[in-house]
């Protein structure tokens, strides 16, 4: 059992939990994820790691209520425990494979949308620990839905807050702020965007026009987290990839967002899953390569 040390509602339907998981904390890196289950028969829920403390043996997760499993998770309190807390899974951020001196020579921009702020935070924090200052844009629909502002401010080189309704920070979409920063003379060597699929799509559309290489995290489309369910199948360039086993990070300029978002909608119903299974055949799964 994995004891919950802290449980906090950050904002409407978004929760933070600090969980005792020493072995996960010991080896996880920014960009990776865990799979949790509340009980033996509970739903498997993949969640990107928001933070970790190797000394304390804890891992921080942030999740949004999107279904029955996460709804039940939101009722758990400090002192309760998860039945399973498996990880780290997925590939770490590519940034973690570079040495600090080469990273210091780069101008790095992070773009976080909504709950996507949670997986952006550990990457920015890791860079900060290497002495690298990255610019960060955090977007939310409204001020009340903004999360982790103080935490991000402590590790970002420059933090730009934007809200769709103009209730806080800059007004407008994150893409407006990207364009504004470039117009102001900012130059970036790489952009890392994490958030809703539609946000990442339009960030990539803009950064492609601006010639800024862009990495996206496709954790929003993961369901099972092991490659067995076929939910997170996506076309990247000319190749079929699976976010949970091949990612979750990919070259955003090569991701077919329209296909992925359409597929997400189809996958939601039993009829849709049966249709995709029949259509995709032996390529439907990322882990086993067959449908039984």
Q: 138 vs 164, 202, 207, 219, 222, CA distance in Å?
A: 11, 15, 16, 18, 22
Residue 292: pLDDT over 70:
no
Instruction: Say if 186 falls within a structural domain.
Output: yes
Instruction: Say if 19 falls within a structural domain.
Output: yes
pLDDT in tens, 31-76: 898 999 888 888 888 888 999 999 999 999 999 888 888 899 999 9
Instruction: Say if 279 falls within a structural domain.
Output: yes
Q: What is the CATH number of the domain that holds 184?
A: 3.40.50.80
Residue 230: pLDDT over 90:
no
Q: What is the pLDDT of residue 273?
A: 66
Q: Does 83 share its domain with 101? A: no
pLDDT in tens, 158-172: 999 999 888 898 989
The tally of domains found in the chain comes to 3
Question: Last residue of a domain, which of 160, 185, 217?
Answer: 217
Calculate what percentage of the chain has a pLDDT beyond 90: 53
More confidently predicted of 222 and 21: 21
Q: Does 207 share its domain with 228? A: no
Burial 251-261 (b: 16+ CB within 10 A, else e): ebbbbebeebb
Q: How many CB atoms lie within 10 A of CB 53?
A: 12
- Mean pLDDT of all residues in 96-114: 90
Q: Does 227 share its domain with 190? A: no
Question: Last residue of a domain, which of 67, 89, 111?
Answer: 89
Q: Does 110 share its domain with 196? A: yes
Cis peptide before 88 (omega within 30 of 0): yes
Instruction: Say if 251 falls within a structural domain.
Output: no
Instruction: Say if 185 falls within a structural domain.
Output: yes
Q: Does 15 share its domain with 56? A: yes
pLDDT in tens, 245-259: 787 899 999 999 988
Q: Does 144 share its domain with 172? A: yes
User: Within a 13 Å sphere around the CA of 22, how many CA atoms are in the beta-carbon half?
Assistant: 3
Q: Does 206 share its domain with 99? A: yes
Residue 228: pLDDT over 80:
no
53-57 long-range contacts (CB < 8 A, ≥24 apart) are 53/25, 54/25, 54/26, 56/25, 57/20, 57/21, 57/22, 57/25, 57/26
Q: If you search the block for the tokens 């920014």, which residue do you land on?
A: 30
Q: In the chain, where do the E strands start and end?
A: 2-11, 14-20, 33-37, 45-53, 58-64, 81-82, 84-89, 108-113, 135-140, 158-163, 170-171, 190-194, 214-217, 233-236, 239-242, 249-251
Residue 229: pLDDT over 90:
no
In this prediction, residue 278 has a pLDDT band, given cuts at 50, 70 and 90, of low
- Mean pLDDT of all residues in 81-102: 88
Q: Does 235 share its domain with 182? A: no
Q: Is 270 left (phi over 0), alpha (psi -120 to 50) or beta?
A: alpha
User: Phi and psi dihedrals of 104, rounded to 5?
Assistant: -65, -20
Q: What is the CATH number of the domain that holds 85?
A: 2.40.30.10
Q: What is the DSSP letter of 114?
A: G
Q: Does 210 share its domain with 225? A: no
Instruction: Say if 180 falls within a structural domain.
Output: yes
Question: Last residue of a domain, which of 44, 74, 89?
Answer: 89
Q: Does 98 share its domain with 209? A: yes
Q: What is the pLDDT of residue 238?
A: 85
pLDDT in tens, 193-227: 999 999 999 999 999 999 999 999 987 777 666 66
pLDDT in tens, 179-202: 999 999 999 999 999 999 999 999
Calculate what percentage of the chain has a pLDDT beyond 70: 88
Q: What is the pLDDT of residue 289?
A: 45
The rounded mean pLDDT for the chain is 87
Instruction: Say if 47 falls within a structural domain.
Output: yes
Q: Name the β-bridge partners of 159.
A: 136
Residue 269: pLDDT over 80:
no
Instruction: Say if 30 falls within a structural domain.
Output: yes
Q: Does 105 share its domain with 210? A: yes
User: Within a 13 Å sphere around the CA of 269, how many CA atoms are in the beta-carbon half?
Assistant: 6
Q: Does 72 share its domain with 137? A: no
Domain range for 162 is 94-217
């Amino acid at each position: 059992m994995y004891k919950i040390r802290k449980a906090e509602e950050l904002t409407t339907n978004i929760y933070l939990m600090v969980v005792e998981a020493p072995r996960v904390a010991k080896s996880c890196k920014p960009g990776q994820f865990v799979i949790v289950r509340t009980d033996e028969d509970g739903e498997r829920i993949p969640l990107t790691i928001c933070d970790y403390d190797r000394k304390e043996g804890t891992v921080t997760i942030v999740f949004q209520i999107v279904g029955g499993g996460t709804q039940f998770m939101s009722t758990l309190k400090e002192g309760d425990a998860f039945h399973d807390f498996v990880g780290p899974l997925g590939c770490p951020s590519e940034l973690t494979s570079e040495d600090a001196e080469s990273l210091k020579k780069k101008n790095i921009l992070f773009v976080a949308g909504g709950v996507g702020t949670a997986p952006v935070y550990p990457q920015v924090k890791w860079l900060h620990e290497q002495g690298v200052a990255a610019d960060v844009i955090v977007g939310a629909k409204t001020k009340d839905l903004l999360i982790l502002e103080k935490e991000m401010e402590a590790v970002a080189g420059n933090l730009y807050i934007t809200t769709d309704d103009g209730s806080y920070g800059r007004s407008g979409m994150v893409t407006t702020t990207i364009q504004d920063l470039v117009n102001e003379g900012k130059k970036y060597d790489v952009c890392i965007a994490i958030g809703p699929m539609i946000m990442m799509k339009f960030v990539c559309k803009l950064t492609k026009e601006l010639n800024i290489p862009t990495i996206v995290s496709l954790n929003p489309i993961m369901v099972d987290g092991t490659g067995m369910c076929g939910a997170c199948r996506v076309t990247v360039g000319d190749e079929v990839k699976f976010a949970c086993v091949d990612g979750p990070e990919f070259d955003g300029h090569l991701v077919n967002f329209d296909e992925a978002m359409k597929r997400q909608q189809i996958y939601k119903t039993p009829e849709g899953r049966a249709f995709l299974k029949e259509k995709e055949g032996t390529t439907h799964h990322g882990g086993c390569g067959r449908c039984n």
